[in-house]
Amino acid sequence: MDQFSTLDLTIFIGYLCLMVGLGIWLSRRGKQESTQDYFLASKALPWWAVGGSLIASNISAEQFIGMSGSGYVVGLAIASYELMAAITLIIVAKFFLPIFIDKGIYTMPQFLEERFDKRVRIGLAIFWVLLFVFVNITSVLYLGGLALQNIMGISMQVGIIGLALYAATFSIFGGLKAVVWTDVVQVVVLIFGGLLASVMVLNAIGGGFFEGLSTLVEKAPEKFDMILEKSNPEYMNLPGISVLIGGMWVANLYYWGTNQYIIQRALAARNLGEAQLGTAFAAFIKILLPIIVVIPGIAAFVLGADIAKPDEAYPWVLNNYVSSGFKGLAFAALIAAIGSSLSSMVNSTSTIFTLDIYKSFFMRPSAATADLDSAEADNPTLTDAEESKLVKVGKISAAISLVIGVVVAPLLGGLDQAFQFIQEYTGFISPGVVAVFLFGLFWKRTSANAALWAVILSIPLSMLIKYFTPSFPFMDRIGLVFLTVSAIIILISLLENKAADKKAIFYKEGLFKTSSLFNMAAIVVSGLLAVIYAMYW
């Protein structure tokens, strides 16, 4: 705490009070009468809110703390997660969103029932709830608690509880609408405060932003290899060319194309055009993010940071190279990232639990088996009382997920690079999920049994490869499991379906046509990525 001046504390506490007040105001102001109001923000989001919320939901302690820690160890190569995400967002906007929005779905498991059957829906719904609670929510709480401990001297447990209460103010009571509109504010603070920290440490290194970057390249050229050689000790985490043509694609398509707490923002857009422009906007911001979340870690390495573990690199930079007054703003950016991601994860956990698990098992048959439109308040299948009950269940399940996160988060204290931990264990489920969605969306013969087996086998196959070949890079393992379950899907589907499956998707004419503005954005994003990889190959 002695690292913080009175001005820093005033700015930081003022920001927290502002966001809590805004969250409470939005929760009381916005109507939450139906599931569409609570879980999809009344389907009224403009493109800039979609894009801003996508980034705010994505960027969290796992990037600020975890990716900076990996930047300290690996270097710029870890930025492949951010850079490849930019082109993945364009692909998702072009080919995934038109189908999802045309179907009018609320959740990813719901789409799986419409395309396959209830077994696939429930199976993946359970997997996702467990993953969100025990990997995503807990890791963000842990990393946030670590930052509070290292920067402000607050104990880990107290910090974790404080972050949970902060996120609860707008994730539980206000639903997605409160989450998104607080995200819009938080993403501005996140980017400005994050850039501020990077600019100040680069200034200290080289006397200016570009001079500092040049000094980093000069003093640690090995940290600026985007594609790692086999001799690199971090090759296991980022295995060379696989980040461009292998398992990284599976990881990114899973996260940006099938992940509920990300895709939910696009589903809540006013229309498809707004969703696509918002997603393209997010792609541009992703290209900027390595400056914010990776460069400080490399700078800490060059400056010889006195830290016990890599994940302490970003707090070390804040404490030592961000001046009084600005430190409070930079730390507010970190808390903004944590709060927005936590609230998004909690909201989406409650969405899946309520609409895919609770509604399926515990509501009367007419409601539990209804199509998506039955979730709208004006549809007689669900009465107003039933709508209100689902919203209440959503709030309760959101609170429970946060409580579990608070209890489990301190147990992650032995992690070295938390970002890599999250990527590896998410990679146990992502190959099967991506295969099921890709074949379900784009191959009409894909059968429900084939999808079910892909879901069932993804985790045991991943565990077998990890156990019997521990030296096999986990990114390559993700790619190998994806190819294996894809072959299983093809084999079973060919045996079961001689023609199109009875639930196959048939596209409307012009469904994948995009606006000239979106097309131009896609070209610019692709060009920028080509230049970056050409410079740092």
Spatial CB neighbours of 407, under 8 Å, sequence gap ≥ 6: none
> pLDDT by residue (tens digit) across 337-346?
787 788 888 8
Q: 10-residue block means of pLDDT along the chain (537 residues)?
A: 74 83 72 64 83 84 79 89 93 94 88 92 90 87 83 86 84 71 80 88 89 91 87 81 86 90 85 94 93 92 88 86 81 78 85 89 57 40 73 89 92 66 79 95 95 92 90 89 96 94 90 94 94 83
The pLDDT value recorded for residue 312 is 86
Q: Which of 80, 225, 51, 209 has the alpha carbon at shortest distance from 529? A: 80
Cα–Cα separations (whole angstroms), residue 267 to 45, 343, 368:
9, 17, 21
DSSP state of 222: G
Q: How many domains does the chain have?
A: 1
Name the pTM for this structure: 0.85
The pLDDT value recorded for residue 448 is 95
What gap in Å lies between CA 82 and CA 72, rounded to an integer? 16
What gap in Å lies between CA 35 and CA 393, rounded to an integer? 11
* Residue span of the structural domain in which 157 resides: 6-20+34-418
The pLDDT value recorded for residue 40 is 65
Cα 205 to chain centroid distance, Å, stands at 32
Residue 394 is assigned to a structural domain of this protein: yes
Residue 59 is assigned to a structural domain of this protein: yes
The pLDDT value recorded for residue 154 is 84
Q: What is the distance between the terminal CA atoms of the chain, rounded to a whole angstrom? A: 42
Residue 371 is assigned to a structural domain of this protein: yes
What gap in Å lies between CA 320 and CA 300, rounded to an integer? 10
Residue 443: other Cβ atoms inside 10 A: 17
Cα–Cα separations (whole angstroms), residue 101 to 209, 304, 331, 452:
42, 50, 37, 24
What gap in Å lies between CA 265 and CA 49, rounded to an integer? 9
What gap in Å lies between CA 362 and CA 369, rounded to an integer? 11
- The CATH number linked to 183 is 1.20.1730.10
Residue 28 is assigned to a structural domain of this protein: no
CB 94 within 8 A of CB 526: no
CB 339 within 8 A of CB 96: no
Of all helices (H) and strands (E), which one includes residue 188? helix 175-206
Taking every pair of C-alpha atoms in the chain, what is the biggest distance, in angstroms? 72
What gap in Å lies between CA 314 and CA 498, rounded to an integer? 56
Query: With the CA atoms of 400, 43, 41 and 12 taken in that order, what torsion angle do they form, in degrees rounded to the nearest 10?
Result: 110
Residue 509 is assigned to a structural domain of this protein: no
3-class DSSP state for residue 416?
coil
Residue 172: other Cβ atoms inside 10 A: 24
Residue 431 is assigned to a structural domain of this protein: no
What gap in Å lies between CA 251 and CA 81, rounded to an integer? 9
H helix runs in 409-447, sequence order: 418-426, 430-442
Residue 536 is assigned to a structural domain of this protein: no
> pLDDT by residue (tens digit) across 418-470?
666 677 778 888 999 999 999 999 999 999 999 999 989 999 999 999 889 98
3-class DSSP state for residue 45?
strand
The pLDDT value recorded for residue 140 is 85
- What DSSP assignment string belongs to 433-482? HHHHHHHHHH-TT--HHHHHHHHHHHHHHHHHHHHH-TTS-HHHHHHHHH
The single-letter code of the amino acid at 445 is R
Residue 493 is assigned to a structural domain of this protein: no
Residue 188: other Cβ atoms inside 10 A: 14
Radius of gyration of the chain (CA): 22
What gap in Å lies between CA 88 and CA 58, rounded to an integer? 14
- What DSSP assignment string belongs to 227-278? S--TTSTTTTTS-TTHHHHSHHHHHHHHHHHT-HHHHHHHHTBSSHHHHHHH
The pLDDT value recorded for residue 303 is 92
Cα 314 to chain centroid distance, Å, stands at 20
- B/e letters for 315-331, b = 16+ CB within 10 Å, e = fewer, are bbbbbebbeeebbbbbb
The pLDDT value recorded for residue 375 is 38
